[in-house]
Structures are given as structure tokens and as C-alpha cells.
Copies of this chain bind each other. A is one copy, B any other.
Amino acid sequence: MNVLVIGANGQVGRKIVKELADSNHKATAMVRKEEQVDKLKEIGADNVVLANLEEDFSSAFDDVDAVIFAAGSGGSTGADKTMTVDLYGSIKAVDYAMDKGVKRFVQLSSVGSANPDEQEDKIKHYMVAKGVADRHLQQTDLDYTIVRPGPLSNDEAKGEIKISHEFPDIGDGSIPRADVAHILVDVLDRNNTYRKAFEVIEGEKEVGEVLETV
């Protein structure tokens, strides 16, 4: 499949592109700035499209078979960008996917997004953004998978995880970005993950084995 990676220049995004380069899929990396193009090609992107999540980016969906949405405004910008990028960027991406007949949609979300009101004040708005975006996706007829990792670390990939479908009971625990990127790519071909959302943290069971049980 030709997989559009939205947020390809992010910390998880780059790892996703690398994972795709090592898989039987092709990566189309969507980035905002011209100067990011070469870097993404170096990492292994087959195509790089220039587009801005805060504008119309529907053209990025041409000739695409699947989408991985991994964009986030990050911690250095304000809640206004969480609204326009994390929330509205995802909503528009889902709308474009429907318009262009791209059925497969994998979304990077977060532990806590299923119950924003129970989060601490500082991160509540972020959880609302992720949760409302997830819900929008869940109301479509797309073949979605929503992956909600715990706090992300820069540790080496462990390759062993623990998941939960019951919210919010996964408990404490972080997960390396490398494992998250691997999961987002690994689920692409797994029909059993269609129309499912799950939380995930580092655990004791091998990724492939766990993903079979989603």
C-alpha cells in the first residue's frame, strides 16, 4: 500500500517512515516545509508532499491507499495550535480520506483521550482534542485503528507491549516511540484491528502476538 504519513517530520513520524521503508508498503511523507523534504527522502520516504495541516491538504490524499495520522503541534506551541493541528487537522484528514475513498486510517492518539474530564487540568485540553478527533473518526465508516499509547519515551524499542480496550484501566507505564511507530505500521494489514481503539504501554508480550488479540 501507498501510505500517507501525516506529521512525518515529527519524532514518531520519522520512525514511521523508516518502518514503512523496511516494510512491503510505500511511504508518502507529508511535511510542511521544503527544507524537510530531503531529510524524509533520506530516511526512506518514496514520496514527499508539501502541505499544511492548517490549510486545505486534500491533494496529499491522491493515489493513497492508507493514512497514518501522527501529527501533533507539540509542547512548544499553545493550545490554539492543539485545536487547529491536533484536532482540526485530524478531522480534515478523516474527511479527505472519506472524500477520496481511502478506507484505511490509522490514528495516533493518547491514553486518556477516552475520558478527558478525568485528566489533570494541565493536559485536559489536549485530551479533549485527541478524544474529539478519535470520536469523529469512529463515527465514519472508515476502516480505522486508533492507537492510544501511554507517555512516550526515547528508549530503544523493546518489542513487548500490553494493551487494553477498557478505558481507563491500562495503568501506569510508558512506551518507546520506536515501539509506537512499529505498531502503527504493523496494524496496517491486520483486519482484526479495523474499527478498534486500544491503549498500549510497554509490557511483557511480543508486539505481533498482542496485536493478534486486538
A residues whose Cβ falls under 8 Å from a Cβ of B: 54-56, 78-84, 87-88, 91, 116-117, 124-125, 128-129, 132, 136, 139
The prevalent SS among residues of A at the interface is helix
In the complex, A73→B54 CA distance in Å?
Answer: 23
Known: A54-B117, A55-B117, A139-B139. Is A125-B84 also a contact (CB below 8 A)?
A: yes
The answer to whether A128 and B79 have CB atoms under 8 Å apart is: no
**Contacts of A81 on B, CB cut-off 8 Å?**
125
The answer to whether B91 and A132 have CB atoms under 8 Å apart is: yes
The answer to whether A80 and B132 have CB atoms under 8 Å apart is: no
Chain A to chain B: the 9 pairs with minimum beta-carbon distance, closest first: A79-B79, A80-B125, A83-B125, A79-B80, A88-B128, A83-B128, A84-B125, A84-B124, A84-B128
Q: How close is A156's CB to chain B, nearest CB, in angstroms?
A: 34
**Contacts of A56 on B, CB cut-off 8 Å?**
117
Q: How close is A210's CB to chain B, nearest CB, in angstroms?
A: 32
